[in-house]
Structure 1
Amino acid sequence: MSAHVIVVPGGGYVQHAEHEAEPVAEWLGGLGLAASVFRYPLNARHPVPLNALRSEIARLRAEGAGTIGLMGFSAGGHLAGLAALAPDRDERTSVQFAVLGYAITSMETETYRPSRLVLLGEDASPELRRATSLDALVTPSAPPFFLWHTAEDPYVLPEHTYRLATALAAHDVPHTTHVYPHGPHSLGLARGAGEAATWTRSAADWIAERAGTA
């Protein structure tokens, strides 16, 4: 059975970036993978988006999907990471791998603050900010991660990817990390974006290994 990949577009938790939605699912389909776009609730406080994504994972599993992966971008990458690392995940809601592009991983830094305000509110406690930071949720049972970012990203600094990669390494969780020297935020498939455009080829090989289609 081929893997099913849920594509989670970015957009700061206030919109869904269309170039990170169906074009990505179509690319995955071209790799022979079942893929769908999940449009989570917008302008909603945590854990509303997370619960919605977990319900979608459970629905696909109930329909027979054995291997489920998540591919999220920016704020969608944050949401995908929350679902992949949720401390109470079980067989119904667990995923087998996650691919995060220029993801917001920390709610403890001041970047990207606008998404934090939407998701957690102005007066979020330090405990809530920590509980929604991906690096704080990593355990040895976390699924494998593929992370990519650009060093020049002015909105979501590459520090976010480094934080998560460091936590994954500390817990011996299999992961791959690519930080490309050039490119803005929100590249999506990054076609024509120089070296960053190679992320899709690297990710395709990585997913094939995780999905058993290599």
Structure 2
Amino acid sequence: MTRIFFLSIFSLLYATASLAQQELPLYTEAIPNAKDTPDEETRRDDFIVSKVSRPTLTIFLPTTGKANGSAVIICPGGGYGVLVMKREGYDVAKAFTDMGVTAFVLKYRLPSDRTMTDKAIGPLQDAQQALKTVRQRATEWHIDPQKIGIMGFSAGGHLASTAGTHYQNSLIGNPDNISLRPNFMILVYPVISLNESIGHTGTRTNLLGASPSADLIRRFSNEQHVEASTPPTFLTHAGDDTVVPVANSLIFYEALHKQGIPADMHIYTQGGHGYAKTPAFEEWFGRCRHWLQELKMMP
């Protein structure tokens, strides 16, 4: 009887978890800017995904009665070559739901001439579609449509900051003119610029190709597109990051400050790229939580 009891409890908990985490196709109709190619996506045991051509959105719902109306779309990093889905996606989403924020992990398309007509805009189309979808279904998911943000790590930070600085240029079907502007951005050791001096070469090559034009580099160097309407931003980076120089966060913060946009920036002496050992997750994420409270995005 005891065994049956515990099996029943386990089944209930498993069913509850399944309901709280649901992966949906990002597009209900044809994927824009996509070529007719087979799905060649691969996933390693450590939740590293590559060759993504079918984007999805995984929903993480807070427990009943805990949701506070805020939501965040999380873009994992990986240099636009892979996606670090667990450590820079699912784990962070769970931390958000613990504090009442509904979280969505975006598995966005990775740039490829094989799967896309214009690989430079594919990831941004997916970020815009995610913002449109969450805002469109806000009532269903008990979300305040004015409290929907976007978060990104490394190259995912480039995608998130692109969504926040290019939202006025819709690259997707949007007949109802739903706002594509995030209400806030959270950028963790982000790639911001694609200029040769401070940009990450792998990210730029994967997104724009081996020899992009100066105009294309400028178009996707997001420090050059900050305006007065750019969303409030939280930035964190390590000074000893040898993969994505801290100058990326510094130059973006400077552009935000020049426009009078509310922004927090936390630079750590050590941490490298990925915050593998330091700072602790509770340290930088706690500062992020405090910033969201100060911004009135959560209680």
TM, length-normalised to structure 2: 0.67
What is the CA–CA distance in structure 1 between the aligned matches of 2:69 and 2:167, rounded to whole Å?
A: 26
- Of all paired residues, the percent bearing the same amino acid is 30
What is the CA–CA distance in structure 2 between the aligned matches of 1:164 and 1:5, rounded to whole Å?
A: 21
Structure 1: unaligned runs, 5 residues or longer: none
* Counterparts of residues 1-214 of structure 1 (less than 5 Å): 2-17=69-84, 18-44=86-112, 45-64=119-138, 65=143, 66=145, 67-86=147-166, 88=168, 91-110=178-197, 111-187=199-275, 193-194=278-279, 198-214=283-299
Distance 1:148 1:62, change over 3 A: same
Which digits, 9 at most, give the CA deviation of each residue in 1:33-71, with x for residues without a partner?
000100110133211100111011101111024121111
Aligned Cα RMSD in Å?
A: 1.7
| Paired letter, 1:208 | Q
Distance 1:151 1:195, change over 3 A: farther
- RCO (CA 8 Å, sep 6+): is it higher in 1 or 2? 1
| Paired letter, 1:105 | I
Range moving further from structure 2, 203-212 or 127-136? 203-212
Contact 2:268-2:279 at 8 Å conserved across structures: no
Larger Rg: 2
**How far does residue 197 in structure 1 lie from its aligned partner after superposition?**
5.1
**How far does residue 142 in structure 1 lie from its aligned partner after superposition?**
0.7
What is the CA–CA distance in structure 1 between the aligned matches of 2:241 and 2:291, rounded to whole Å?
A: 24
Range moving further from structure 2, 193-202 or 138-147? 193-202
